[in-house]
Amino acid sequence: MATDNKPAVSIKDMIKKDRILNSGHRMCAGCAAPVVIKLMGMALRGPTIVCNNTGCLEVATTIYPYTAWNLPWIHVAFENAAAVASGIIEATKVMHAKGHFEHEHVDVIALGGDGASFDIGFGAISGAMERGHDMVYMCYDNGAYQNTGIQRSGATFMGQETTTSWAGSVIPGKLERKKPIAEIIAAHKIPYVATVEPSNYRDFITKFRKALEVEGPAFIHAFSPCPRGWRSATGESISLSKLAVETGLHPLYEVINGEEWIMSSASKNLKELKPVDEYFKTQGQFKHLFKPEWADFRKRIQEQVDHDWELLKKRCGVE
Amino acid sequence: MSEKYNEIPMAGNIIEPGNSLKYKTGGWRAERPIHTDETCLWVKNGTCGRCWIFCPDNAVVLTEKDGKHAYAYNLEYCKGCGICANECPTQSIHMESESK
Amino acid sequence: MTVSKDRITVEGLTGDAAIAHALRQADLDVLSAYPITPQTIIVEDYQKFAADGQVKAKVIPVESEHSAMSACVGASAVGARVATASASAGLALMWEILYCAASMRMPIVFTVANRALSAPINIHNDHSDGMGMRDSGFIQLYCQSSQEAYDTTLMAFKLAEHHDVLLPVMVGIDGFIVSHNVERVEMLPDDEVSKFVGVREPVQPLDPDNPITMGPLALTDYYFEFKEQQDKAIQNVPRVYKEVEDEFEKLTGRKYGMFETYKTEDADIIIIAMSSMGGTAKVVADALRERGDKVGVIRLKMFRPFPTKDIAKAVGKAKAVAVFEKAMSFGAATHPLALEVRTALYEAEQRPMIADFVVGLGGRDVPPITFVEGVDKTKEYLKKGEAPLYETLGVRK
């Protein structure tokens, strides 16, 4: 791995940084997850081990006999990367003390999609955060169980159509709001929680590096567009990610020790939010919302987003 | 794929890191990116690089030699998603159908 | 040379406490566990050793058994020596990761105080939990006493970590009957245990200097080959187990074998049972022999891999085998132990009659009289020339 310890945020440094995920992986064309991983790689600082929950990223990067990973990498199951990481962290420390493991410190990163993180593996994350293992857990959130064929998860937006939250004649897609995962993890009072997305890449890399540097657990919530599931143009994944910030659907912020809320400049500098309609109209999964019968429902979604945005601004001390 | 059970590492361990390079994904492409040097900021002055940063398949190849900046695609892996074209701030990239 | 008596510590210990001592001496790197009756004493005692600085391991007090086994897999993947403990519902919650641990070839030692599965919820002993995981790829060793639990736990590390094996091992004791019963236990001095268990030498660990990918997606073209590897590995267990036991015997003078035989040579009826039932069965055999019935006992210790050929040999020319087992495989032809025994004896020259008695579910006492009842029934069946596939004993019906 890279011996260069600095995070790479300029293009000239980035192209020199060791690549952690090679080409030849089988993520769909236009999937943002490999970009999320690339940006994570730009933040690395030394020996690193990656634990990956089951999901698109896990499956499509390690189809035997090929692996796209240049880092030591382990997948065990869908819901347990945080627990696997707990074991790795504590084992390497003990083994190093006994002279059985060379490195005094290894950065251990656990990765999971939104299904693994918001839903099935939530308990394992909560436990790992509470126990204080020095890991970074990153959820790449593409808004549904895309790997199994676009089923709703706790991360699915209100109004989003999935194969288990169909938009029908009486139901306009998912009726429930998205679980505020970063807030919930921040409530564990861990040293560092941040939301990121790939278009604001410098912000992403800087935050990921902070997450590595704090002592104790850190949680990164990365937004990650999925053209296949969202029925969006493959070329638009990064711009959609930006639009999610601009509409307040994925605001960027940090929470230090569960108490100090800091709004990141990409969100803070917004004079006002763009209407969620602008985001919705880019994707097939929201197109039903523009039927006249769902106008009120769409309005309710906007009100919810506005409400959450005001609350976040207040928390972050932003006027 | 003809290896016997005792001719492969145990438990599915893949001991050669990053060997997915052997698996070419270029065949997935319906459209290919076409790049013009003239307006490209990387070629001009070694800045920008948004296409490189946001390419999910590491198919944009940016090189620098003796102060000169070169631009290329690795079409063995490019899946033709068009993120590079979409993210280019100077419209130096456009997509063309592979069947053209 | 066995270790001299003055270096042996003798204590009255419960099965759980004996296991905790074995884990203390085995120089673990990580113990990751979640509390569940009747296993909890193992973890409590070990935590106390940790609190007093008697072990150099890190204890991870996880939020669930699923995470307990997951953390064990992670720790084992980097080359650590790891153990966990559970029972019943906790073991059931681990189920998914039991398969992962075995398939990923993680030599984890898993001590279990065998307990009934819900519902109704019940904290007492039977073998439903262990039998439920019998196809997970774990080696399974069921112990009869606190001493055996201590000894087997120590041997389990050497067996699991042997490069011809690299599989996790379940060490089972009967919940409450052994886990909470105080017995005399002889413990080796720490230095002798250190020498015996040695330091784990991992094969293909997760290592930043040699980045491998562990646990990939393997589909129709490769998955089967990894199962073939796993099957070959578990078939190596009897040979390696014997080597480990021989070495252990040199230190302690004690050995158990894959199963223990008692007065089987001339027996007409052989009782096959596991764990604490073995002791009762032997007493019953003695009593019945006084009555004139030639009864012997096979007390099975190693359920996985099942010592098929050795069992057939040990049964020899007996006329009948009476299986007593504490688990049900609902809807199966017979219950787990009898299924194995029947298969083992199918090729026998003189195939004995097999009677299968399900006993003791949910901790229902299995007194000597239950064995007598089973043996008497077996005698009747011999006279009749046929036996039912299975029946329950000790239940009100």
Q: What is the domain partition of chain C in residue ranges?
A: 5-252, 260-392
For residue B17, give the chain A residue with the closest CA.
A70
pLDDT of residue A4: 55
Using a CB-CB cut-off of 8 Å, the residues of chain B touching C105 are 10-11
* pLDDT mean across residues, chain A: 97
Q: Please determine, for residue A305, whether its predicted confidence score (pLDDT) is greater than 70.
A: yes
For residue C30, give the chain A residue with the closest CA.
A91
Do the Cβ atoms of B23 and A24 come within 8 Å?
Answer: yes
Q: What is the pLDDT of residues A46-71, one digit of tens each?
A: 999 999 999 999 999 999 999 999 99
Q: Please determine, for residue A153, whether its predicted confidence score (pLDDT) is greater than 90.
A: yes
Using a CB-CB cut-off of 8 Å, the residues of chain A touching B89 are none
What integer is the mean pLDDT of B27-49? 97
What integer is the mean pLDDT of B5-23? 98
Closest CA to A49 of A120, A134, A170: A134
End-to-end CA distance of chain C: 55
Which ranges of C139-270 would DSSP assign to H, the alpha helix? 146-161, 190-197, 223-235, 237-252
pLDDT of residue A187: 98
Contact present, A148 and A156 (Cβ < 8 Å): no
End-to-end CA distance of chain B: 35
pLDDT of residue A3: 47
Do the Cβ atoms of C30 and A85 come within 8 Å?
Answer: no
CATH class of A11-316: alpha beta
Q: What is the pLDDT of residues C146-192, one digit of tens each?
A: 999 999 999 999 999 999 999 999 999 999 999 999 999 999 999 99
What integer is the mean pLDDT of B3-20? 98
pLDDT of residue B77: 98
Using a CB-CB cut-off of 8 Å, the residues of chain A touching B55 are 35
Q: What share of chain A has pLDDT > 90, as a percent? A: 98
Q: What is the DSSP letter of A120?
A: I
Residues 6+ apart with CB under 8 A from C52: none
Which ranges of chain A would DSSP assign to H, the alpha helix? 11-14, 33-43, 56-61, 81-97, 114, 122-131, 181-186, 201-213, 227-230, 237-246, 265-268, 276-280, 295-316
pLDDT of residue B83: 98
For an interface test with C, which of A62, A63, A71, A84 has the most C Cβ atoms less than 10 Å from its Cβ? A84
Using a CB-CB cut-off of 8 Å, the residues of chain C touching B8 are 222, 225
For an interface test with A, which of C78, C224, C227 has the most A Cβ atoms less than 10 Å from its Cβ? C78
Q: What is the pLDDT of residues C271-329, one digit of tens each?
A: 999 999 999 999 999 999 999 999 999 999 999 999 999 999 999 999 999 999 999 99
In the CATH hierarchy, which fold is given to the domain comprising C260-392? Rossmann fold (3.40.50)
Contact present, C194 and C27 (Cβ < 8 Å): yes
Contact present, C156 and C302 (Cβ < 8 Å): no
What integer is the mean pLDDT of C225-233? 98
pLDDT of residue A1: 42
pLDDT of residue A5: 82
Nearest-Cα distance to chain B for C221, in Å, is 7
Q: Give, for C2, the enclosing helix (H) or strand (E).
A: none
Report the residue from C30, C63, C79 with minimal CB separation from A90.
Answer: C30
Q: What is the pLDDT of residues B58-88, one digit of tens each?
A: 999 999 999 999 999 999 999 999 999 999 9
Q: Tally C-beta pairs within 8 A across B and C.
A: 47
Using a CB-CB cut-off of 8 Å, the residues of chain B touching A62 are 14
Give the chains touching B; criterion: ≥3 Cβ pairs < 8 Å.
A, C
SS3 of residue C73 by DSSP: helix
CATH class of B24-97: alpha beta
CATH number of C5-252: 3.40.50.970
Whole-number Å distance between alpha carbons of C125 and C174: 6
Q: What share of chain C has pLDDT > 70, as a percent? A: 100
Report the residue from A63, A71, A76 with minimal CB separation from C215.
Answer: A76
Nearest-Cα distance to chain B for C288, in Å, is 50
pLDDT of residue A275: 98
For residue B7, give the chain C residue with the closest CA.
C225
Q: What is the domain partition of chain B in residue ranges?
A: 24-97
The C-alpha torsion from A48 through A54 and A55 to A59, rounded to 10°, is 80
For an interface test with A, which of B20, B61, B63 has the most A Cβ atoms less than 10 Å from its Cβ? B20
Nearest-Cα distance to chain C for B14, in Å, is 5
Q: What is the pLDDT of residues A73-132, one digit of tens each?
A: 999 999 999 999 999 999 999 999 999 999 999 999 999 999 999 999 999 999 999 999
Q: Hey, what are A45's tokens?
A: 């600082």
Q: Please determine, for residue C228, whether its predicted confidence score (pLDDT) is greater than 70.
A: yes
Nearest-Cα distance to chain A for B84, in Å, is 7
Phi, psi of A145 (to 5 degrees): -75, 80
Whole-number Å distance between alpha carbons of A138 and A41: 13
Using DSSP bridges, classify how beta strands A107-113 and A48-52 pair: parallel, antiparallel or unpaired.
parallel
Residues 6+ apart with CB under 8 A from C4: none
Closest CA to C378 of C395, C391, C397: C391
Say how many residues make up chain B.
Answer: 100
Q: Which of residues 199-228 of A touch B (CB under 8 A)?
A: 199, 201, 227
- So what's the ipTM on this one? 0.97
Nearest-Cα distance to chain A for C30, in Å, is 6
Q: Which residues of C265-288 are buried (b: 16+ CB within 10 A; e: fewer)?
A: eebbbbbbbbbbbbbbbbebbeeb
Q: Please determine, for residue C269, whether its predicted confidence score (pLDDT) is greater than 90.
A: yes
Report the residue from B6, B10, B17 with minimal CB separation from C211.
Answer: B17
pLDDT of residue C98: 98
Predicted confidence band of residue A319 (pLDDT cuts 50, 70, 90) = confident
